[in-house]
Amino acid sequence: MEIEKPGKQHLHQLKQLCNDAGIKLTHQRLEIFRELMSVSDHPSAELIHKRLHKRLPTIAIDTVYRTLTTFDELGLVKKLHIMNERTLFDTNVTIHHHFICSHCKKVTDIYWSDLDNSKLPEMVEGMGKIQSRHLEIHGVCNDCLHKSEE
Ligand SMILES: [Zn+2]
Ligand SMILES: [Zn+2]
């Protein structure tokens, strides 16, 4: 039995959303979705591609990337651009923020309702319509801190 993680989408949601959007649920898309939901919380397209390769040896990285982008548009995952260097796909679509270890690059979810409910600075509100807010906290995680002490 898999542990339920917050904000994760399920197969029936994928079917429903594809149906509503008029997108064909191909075998490849289904397999990408399955893999996506079984890996760590913030996989890259490369990781999904690598893991799928055994079962779908002909699948191209472009296909994986495009499919993940489609899933992002459907709201099944969130595309993250961390520090402008990597594109990751977040399988948790509830509101949350991230702690990013600058050493091992691990991305950990943070929940921060005070921040989510806080009033934005006036200068931000004057800039236009706000659609979402996402905070990245950068630092060195405990695992890496302890390793460097050894
Ligand atoms: Zn680390
Ligand atoms: Zn996340």
Q: What is the pLDDT along the chain (150 residues), one digit of tens a residue?
A: 445 556 677 888 889 989 999 999 999 999 999 999 888 789 999 999 999 998 899 999 999 999 999 999 998 899 987 766 678 999 998 899 999 998 998 999 999 999 999 998 889 888 998 888 889 999 999 999 998 776
Partners of residue 89 on adjacent β-strands: 79
Q: In the listed set 90, 113, 131, which residue is the last one of a domain according to the structure?
A: 90
SS3 96: coil
Number of folded domains in the chain?
A: 2
Residue 66: the pLDDT is 95
CA of 114 to the centre of ligand 2 (A): 17
CA of 74 to the centre of ligand 1 (A): 31
Residue 148: the pLDDT is 76
**Stated pTM of the model:** 0.77
Shared domain for 73 and 127, answered yes or no, is no
Residue 41: inside a domain: yes
Residue 108: the pLDDT is 93
Domain of 123 in residue numbering reads as: 97-149
- Pick the ligand that lies closest to the CA of residue 99: 2
Residue 1: the pLDDT is 43
Taking 3-state DSSP, the helix, strand and coil percentages for the chain, each rounded to the nearest 5, stand at 40, 15, 45
Q: In the listed set 61, 90, 119, which residue is the last one of a domain according to the structure?
A: 90
Shared domain for 86 and 103, answered yes or no, is no
Shared domain for 15 and 84, answered yes or no, is yes
- Pick the ligand that lies closest to the CA of residue 101: 1
Helix runs in the chain, H state only: 11-21, 27-38, 45-52, 61-74, 113-117, 122-125, 142-149
CA of 97 to the centre of ligand 2 (A): 6
CA of 103 to the centre of ligand 2 (A): 18
With CA atoms as reference, report the closest residue to 15 among 37, 40, 33, 41: 33
Shared domain for 34 and 65, answered yes or no, is yes
CA of 23 to the centre of ligand 2 (A): 26
Residue 27's domain is classified under what CATH number?
1.10.10.10
Shared domain for 55 and 79, answered yes or no, is yes
Residue 55: inside a domain: yes
